Amino acid sequence: MPQNSQEILLMLPHVVIGVGIVISLLIEMYSKKSETILPWISLFVFVFAGVHSIINISANQILFGGMLEVGGKPAIFNFIFNIGAALLILNSIDYIKKYESNHGEYYILIQSAILGMMVMAGSKDIFMIFIGLELMSIAFYVLAGINKKKSSSNEAALKYFLLGAFATGFIVYGIALIYGVSSTTSVDSIIQNFSTFTQNILFIVGLLLFIIGFSFKIAAFPFHMWVPDVYQGSATTVTGLMSTTGKTAAFSVLLIILSASLINYNIDIFAPYFAVIATLSMLYGSIVAIAQKNLKRMLAYSSISHAGYMAIGLAAANSEAFSGIIFYLAAYTFMNIGAFGIISIIEKQNDANTDLTAYAGLASKSPILAAFMSLFMFALAGIPPLAGFFGKYYVFISAIEADLTWLAVVGVFSSVISVYFYLRLVVYMYFKESEKDIDLHIDKYSLLSVVVSGILVIYFGISPDSLLNLILSVVN
C-alpha cells in the first residue's frame, strides 16, 4: 500500500485534474455562480499540471505495474496539453458567456479531454491508450456541439461522432488482432518483440488498423474528411483545442510505432504508408486551403497539411524525426492556439463572422491583434526565425537523413503553396479596407492568452535550443 500511495503522488498532475473534474461537477450542481468559478478552477488545474510536469521532467518512472509513464516524454506532452488548454480557457471566459452556452459542462468536458490526452501520452499499455483516447474523443464529441442553438454546431458534433466511431472501431479491431498475436497488452514488450511479431500477418493488419484509427485523429488525408466541417461548425475555442492538443495526443501514440522501428532498425513496414499519407495530406491541405473563404475552414486545411509535415517524420523513422515531431507539435500547438484565440475575439464582435473579409482593415482597428495574427500566420507558413520554421526544418532534415529526399522536396513545394493562403490573411488585415465599421472590444483575458502564445512562438523560434535540449534529454 505505501508503494501505491507513492505512485499516486507521482501522478499528481493526473490526480489534480481528476479531482478538478469532480469538484467542478459539484460546483456546477450546487452553486449558482458556477460560471464565474469554473474557469478559474480549470485554469488552476491546467497551470498546475503543466508546470508540475515540466518541473519533474527528470523523474521518469513507470507506475502501476507497467501501465502509466510519468516524467520524461509524457511530461513534455503534458506540458503542451495543459498550457495549451490553459490558454484556451483564458480565451473561453468571455467567448462562452457571449454565446450563452455558459454551462459548467464546457469546463468539465475540457478537463476530461485533457485528462484523456495525458493518459494517452503516458500509457504503457494498449488498453490504457484506448481508455485515454475514448475519454478525450467522447468529451470532444460533446464539446463540438456545445453551442446547442447553432445548427452547424450540431452538424459538426454528429459528423464528428459518427466518423469518430469508425476510427474507434478500427482501433479496437486492431488492438484485438495485436493482442491475439502477441498475447500481451504491454507496449514495451510489443516494441521489444516487434520483429518477431511482424512475421505474423495478423499483427501487421492489426497494427495497420490501429494506425488508420489514429490517422483519423491526426487529420491525415484521406481520413481528414471530418476536419473542415467539424472545425468550422464547432465553437472556435473548441476547434482550437481539437486542432492542437487533440492532434498532439494522437501523435504521442503514433510515436510508439516510431520507437518500435527505432529499436528494431530494419522494421519499417509502415514507412511507405506514412510517406504516402504525408505527401497526400501536405498537398491536399495546402492546395485546397487556397480556395477557402472562411478562416476557420482554411485553418482546418492547414491543419491537414501540418499533419502531413509531421507524418514525414513518421516515415523517416529515425531519432531526429522523433525529437523533430515533438518540437513541431509544441510549436504548432502554440501558434494555432494564438490564431484561434484571435479568431474568437474577432468573431464575438462581428456576428460570428469568421470569413476572411471580416479581417479586412484589422491593422488600422487593432494593430496589436493584426500584428500577432501576422506573427502566427508567418509561423504557420514556416518563415524563419519563428517556431514553425524549426519544426519543419527538423522533420525535413530527418527525411533527408532517411534517404527520403523526395518527401522533403514535396514538403518544400507544399510550403510554398501554403505561403500564399497564410499571406492572404495578412493582405486582408493590412492592405484592404474594412467594409463595416465595428467597435472592437478586446477582453483582457483573451488578449493575455494571445500575447502568451505569441511570446512562446517567438521564443521557440529565436531560442529553439531551450525546447530542443529538453526534448533531447528525454528522448535519449
Contacts with other proteins by CB under 8 A lie at 159, 162-163, 166, 170, 177, 180-181, 183, 200-202, 204-205, 208-209, 212, 222-223, 225-226, 228-229, 273, 284, 287-292, 378, 383-385, 389, 393, 396-397, 400-401, 405, 408-409, 412-413, 415-417, 419-420, 423, 427, 430-431, 463-465, 468-469, 472
SS3 at position 317: coil
Torsion of the alpha carbons at 264, 54, 67 and 310, rounded to the nearest 10: -40
Q: At CA 251, angle to CA 248 and CA 255, rounded to 5?
A: 140
The distance of closest approach from Cβ of residue 208 to other proteins in the complex, given in angstroms and rounded to an integer, is 6
What's the closest the beta carbon of residue 84 comes to other proteins, in angstroms?
Answer: 24
Distance CA 121, CA 255 (A): 10
Compute the distance between CA of residue 330 and CA of residue 82 in angstroms, rounded to an integer. 12
Could you give the CA distance from residue 326 to residue 74 in angstroms, rounded to a whole number? 11
With respect to other proteins, which residue has the nearer C-beta, 122 or 206?
206
What is the rounded end-to-end Cα distance, in angstroms, of the chain?
Answer: 32
State how far the Cα of 451 lies from the Cα of 372, in Å rounded to an integer. 8
Work out how close the CB of 15 gets to other proteins at its nearest, in angstroms, rounded to a whole number.
21
Tell me how far, at minimum, the Cβ of 412 lies from other proteins, in Å.
4
Q: Which of 25/208 has CB closer to other proteins? A: 208
Evaluate whether 60 touches 111 at the Cβ level (below 8 Å). no
Nearest distance in Å: CB 322, other proteins: 15
DSSP code, position 358 = G
Nearest CB to other proteins, comparing residues 90 and 178: 178
Burial class for 258, CB neighbours closer than 10 Å (0-12, 13-18, 19+): buried
Would the CA dihedral through 215, 220, 223, 227 be positive or negative? positive
**CA angle, residues 73, 66, 321, in degrees to nearest 5:** 30
CB of 170 to other proteins, least distance (A): 7
- Select 69 or 229, whichever has its Cβ closest to other proteins: 229
Shortest distance in whole angstroms from residue 179 CB to other proteins: 9
Cell of 72: 520524461
Is the CB of 4 or the CB of 463 nearer to other proteins?
463
| CA 327/CA 386 separation, integer angstroms | 12
Q: Which is nearer to other proteins, 355 or 401 (CB)?
A: 401
- For residue 172, the minimal CB distance to other proteins (Å) is 14
Report the residue number, 106 or 284, with the smaller CB distance to other proteins.
Answer: 284
The whole-angstrom separation of Cα 9 and Cα 5 is 6
Q: How many CB atoms lie within 10 A of CB 8?
A: 12
Query: Which lies closer to other proteins via its Cβ, residue 50 or residue 324?
Result: 324
The residue among 77 and 197 lying less far from other proteins, judged by its C-beta, is 197
Which residues are CB-contacts of 12 (< 8 A; sequence separation ≥ 6)? 52
Burial 353-370 (b: 16+ CB within 10 A, else e): bbbbbbbbbbbebbeebb
**Do residues 317 and 275 make contact, with C-beta atoms less than 8 angstroms apart?**
no
**Residue 409: CB minimum distance to other proteins, A:** 6
Q: Please report, to the nearest 10 degrees, the dihedral formed by the alpha carbons of residues 147, 150, 153, 157 taken in order.
A: 80
Closest distance of CB 95 from other proteins, Å: 26
Q: CA Rg, the chain, in Å?
A: 21
Nearer to other proteins, 204 or 448 (CB): 204
Name the minimum Å distance from CB 166 to other proteins: 6
Give the residue with the Cβ less far from other proteins, 41 or 307. 307
